[in-house]
Amino acid sequence: MACLVSRSGRELQRYNNMGGRQVVGCIPYRYKEDVDGNMSEELEVLVVSSQKGQGLMFPKGGWELDESVEEAACRESLEEAGVLGSIEHELGQWNFISKRYGVYYEGHMFPMFVKEQLDTWPEQNLRRRIWMSVGEAREVCQHWWMKEALDILVQRMVSSAQEKDLSF
């Protein structure tokens, strides 16, 4: 059973050795189904609206002291997007300036293969979630570092597909 309440407060928030807040995000993805309900090779990713505006991004939030980076990624995807799935190998780490506070943050991004999409989730009244193509997501995502993470994910998927083709 998933927790249906978002964490709040910053008492457990992690900071790096430069004093930058550490945040973790996920790129939830799945393969689009064709008209017969079969899985295609076309990738779809899930974006969410920001809490404070109409901008779109991937789920992300603070990494807390009582959880691993992967647990934080899962929690943020559940809280903000209402999805559960498998966290895969980290896409990378970025340093970026917070638009709201003007200070450096440290962001970690992970891909999540979505296995379940919940009908109710903690922030369903605060955010919209939208499945879209990689190209659409790259266009609408408001954070440059998340776009870079998406590019890394796509390249990883293409390389993996090519390796499978070569093994036969």
- For the segment(s) 21-166, the CATH number from 3.90.79.10, 3.40.50.2000, 3.40.50.2300, 3.30.70.1530 is 3.90.79.10
pLDDT at 2: 54
Calculate the dihedral angle through the C-alpha atoms of 57, 63, 64, 70, rounding to the nearest 10 degrees. Answer: 110
**Structure confidence by residue, pLDDT tens digits, 50-63:** 987 779 999 999 99
CB of 44 within 8 A of CB of 38? no
Provide the mean pLDDT of the chain: 89
Please report where in the chains the tokens 């870079």 appear, as a residue: 148
Cα separation, 39 vs 129, in Å, equals 21
Tokens standing for 155? Answer: 């390249």
Q: pLDDT tens per residue, the chain (168 residues)?
A: 455 555 565 678 999 888 889 999 999 999 988 778 788 888 999 999 998 777 999 999 999 999 999 999 999 999 999 999 999 999 999 999 887 777 889 999 999 999 999 999 999 999 999 999 999 999 999 999 999 999 999 999 888 777 766 554
Q: What is the domain partition of the chain in residue ranges?
A: 21-166
Per DSSP (E only), the strands in the chain are 21-33, 39-49, 56-57, 60-62, 83-87, 92-97, 104-117, 129-133
Contact 52, 77 (CB under 8 A): no
